[in-house]
Structure formats: C-alpha cells, structure tokens
Amino acid sequence: MTGRSIARYVGVGTVCAAAGVAGGIAGSSASQAHPRAGARLGRVVHADAIVATGGGRRFVRVTIDRGIVKSVSGAQLTIDEGTPRATYRTVTLTIPAGAVVRNNGSAAALSSLQPGERVGVRQGPRRTRVIASTRGGH
C-alpha cells in the first residue's frame, strides 16, 4: 500500500466514520455516501482520528466509541465497547450539555438511553453526537 493510498484510506475512513455516527452508526454497517467504508469500518468499536480542517491549515481530534449502553448517570454514559458477543473494554464518557442525542431516529435526552441499547458516540472539538438504537434485539 503506497503512502497515497494509505492517506486516501484514512481520509475516506475518517469522513465515513463521522458520517456513519451522525447517520446512525449504532445500527448501520455502511454510510450512503461511501458504501465501501462500511466494509472497512463496520467492526470499528473505538477510533481516534486527527482530521484536517480549514483548508488543511489546522487539525482536530475526533473520537468514536461504539458498543452497548451499560448505564447513564447525569452526563456520564458508560458503554461496553465491542460487539454483542465480546467486550473490548468498558468506558465512561462525559457527554456535554449541548450534545445531539438521538434514539431510534428521534431526538432524545441522554437520560432516555437504556442499558442494552446499541450506541455510537462521536466527539469532536465543536460537537458531540450520541446515536442509540434498540434494533438488533439488544
């Protein structure tokens, strides 16, 4: 794999990962914008990405966490990162007050998330998105 194809892979993966979380990555395997990215990212449970912004003049960090809701307490969301069959690790994320939270496609409060729901969290410098889903029988 050349340096150029690695950069393309990382760039596509980063864009599609961010789009996938925004579009419901908790229950999806591919984004509509780039179907091949789903094959590459469909099993991602945690990612830290440095993304170029502002015409390539600066960089920001984007973090993606995906798994099963373990508990919610105030602004603290604890998830078991992994799959329904195996846990990679358990993490507690602090979700800021202005976060966009969606549950089964509808706007929701963080407190409405229930243990056992699938969840994807994308945290960037300007906003946080939490997308939860009960689909898949979890």
Residues 55, 74: Cα–Cα separation, whole Å: 37
* Residue 138 belongs to a domain: no
* Residue 39 belongs to a domain: yes
Does the predicted TM-score (pTM) go above 0.75?
no
Residues 12, 127: Cα–Cα separation, whole Å: 20
* Residue 17 belongs to a domain: yes
Residue scoring higher pLDDT (40 or 71): 71
* Residue 74 belongs to a domain: yes
* Residue 49 belongs to a domain: yes
Long-range contacts of 37-46 (CB under 8 A, 24+ apart): 37/12, 37/13, 40/9, 40/12, 40/13, 40/16, 41/13, 41/16, 41/17, 43/83, 44/17, 45/81, 45/82, 45/83, 45/88, 46/81, 46/88, 46/89, 46/91
Q: Number of structural domains, the chain?
A: 1
* Residue 30 belongs to a domain: yes
* Residue 56 belongs to a domain: yes
Tell me, what's the pLDDT at 84? 77
User: Which residues form the domain of 42?
Assistant: 3-133
* Residue 66 belongs to a domain: yes
Confidence at 41, pLDDT banded by 50, 70, 90: low
Residue scoring higher pLDDT (40 or 1): 40
Q: Averaged over 34-45, what is the pLDDT? A: 61
